[in-house]
Amino acid sequence: MNSTTPTGGPLNIEPALKALAAALHGEGPAVELSIGEDGALVVGHLETPGCDDAVAVVRTSGSTGTPKATVLTVESLAASSMATALALKGEGQWLLALPVQYVAGIQVLVRSLFAGTRPWVMDMSGGFTPEAFTAAALELTDKIRFTSLVPTQLQRLLDEPSPDTLAVLRRFNAVLLGGAPAPASLLAAAREAGVRVVTTYGSAESSGGCIYDGYPLEGVSVRVADDGRILLGGDTIAAGYLDAPDQDGATFFEEDGVRWYRTSDIGSIDDDGRLTVLGRADDVIITGGLKVSAAHVQEELEKSDAVAAAFVAGVPSAEWGQALAAYVALAPHASLAASLPAPLAGAGRDAEGGDPAVVLEREWRHTLGILAPKTVLAAPALLMLPNGKPDRLAMTAELNALHGGK
């Protein structure tokens, strides 16, 4: 493995480009990119038994279990790159503004290699900021320009628009927007600002976004199974998972010469062939482009001595697409102050002197970071159905009303 320069500036992606180029030409092993403890980009090489044309191995988020290593081949990446160029009416220079180890980031590098252009890397050592994005976008030299963002990033760019930020956004031939549902208000604001946004849907298993503005790319097929699951098919579909054979065809399967991937999303297709994604078939909440397991967050919240039980849901959010929200049943006679970490214990808001939801929200921001609920509703007990099960719809409705779409 080779480690590039650590953060403190833009990542040096040259070793990654070289390794990916070798794999695309059949002159090197499959590549896996990751970020080391020091913030450096690590270029790893993996053996892929039974798949000689593997180019990249991309780990899934692991939000519903152990992360899976998705194997992307020359065929799947070439098909994706060609279909993207056809949809965007050209190849050009890409700005990397997403983590390079995930499929959207790797695709920026792969598409650049197929196009013969030099990608530019945004400096994200200080996080995603409009200033850093603008500075990187100003470095692009090709007349045809593209970038990929998640809705939260685009929202921040539009919330703090400087003349330079709006100018560079308008110069992109397309801003691909994926990773989470994009609120209609965000899309309207972007188009009103003159930003050419293309919404995308896909995953590592489909070599990234393969549905643009609701319609499949060239060579991609989409249908909805009897159980409502979205099925994606065509040459962009991955070879499978490394060290995890799908012998029963639960995830990948062949039908009439077409390779298919069964997603975890439910959707519908209208008479014009436009796909609408209705939500997840499991409990995953997509917030700010990250996939978070509601069950996992619930377990974390229930570790607090002040919480007897918790229910976690995703609620519509203008900033995050979906925001984590929690309905918590307080433990009888629990002291919230006693449950807080030392730096917060003397903050002056305990079970007797403050709003319990405020105290818990503060605690979880400190201890859970990105997994902390944005909205907390504290009550003596969870709402229950007559059969003794939690009333998920009722609690979700109350959380939605409390959060207010912010």
Residue 325 pLDDT exceeds 80: yes
| Helices 184-192 & 151-159 angle (0-180, nearest 10) | 50
Domain ranges of the chain: 2-280, 284-403
**Main-chain phi, psi angles of 330, to 5 degrees:** -75, 140
Q: Which of 299, 291, 371 is nearest to 328 (CA)?
A: 299
**With bands split at pLDDT 50, 70 and 90, how would you rate the model's confidence at 343?**
very low
Cβ–Cβ < 8 Å for 314, 332: no
Q: How confident is the prediction for the chain on average, in pLDDT?
A: 87
Alpha carbons 239 and 259: distance in angstroms, whole number = 9
pLDDT digit string, tens, across residues 17-28: 999 999 999 999
pLDDT 10s digits, 87-143: 999 999 999 999 899 899 999 999 999 999 999 999 988 888 999 999 999 999 999
Q: Which amino acid is at 366?
A: H
Report the pLDDT averaged over residues 332-360.
Answer: 55
Average pLDDT rounded to a whole number, residues 337-365: 60
Q: Taking 70 as the threshold, does the pLDDT of residue 217 lie above it?
A: yes
Q: Can you list the alpha helix ranges (DSSP code H) found in 151-219?
A: 151-159, 163-171, 184-192
- pLDDT of res. 335: 58
Cβ 180 vs Cβ 322: under 8 Å: yes
- CATH architecture group of domain 284-403: 2-Layer Sandwich (3.30)
Residue 61: its pLDDT value, please? 58
Mean pLDDT within 347-369: 73
pLDDT interval class at 247 (50, 70, 90): low
Hey, how many other C-beta atoms are within 10 angstroms of the C-beta on 47?
10
Q: pLDDT tens digits for 56-72? A: 999 875 544 466 899 99
State whether residue 109 is helix, strand or coil: helix
* Residues near 215 by beta carbon (within 8 Å), at least 6 away in sequence: 273, 274, 275
Tell whether the torsion through CA atoms of 243, 249, 251 and 256 is positive or negative. positive
Residues 6 or more apart in contact with residue 151 via CB below 8 angstroms: 177, 179, 180, 181, 182, 183, 186, 288, 289, 320, 321
Lowest mean pLDDT among 56-60, 174-178, 270-274, 322-326: 56-60
- Level-2 CATH architecture, domain 2-280: 3-Layer(aba) Sandwich (3.40)
Task: Report H helices in 241-311.
Answer: 294-301
**Percent of the chain residues past pLDDT 90, beyond the cut:** 58
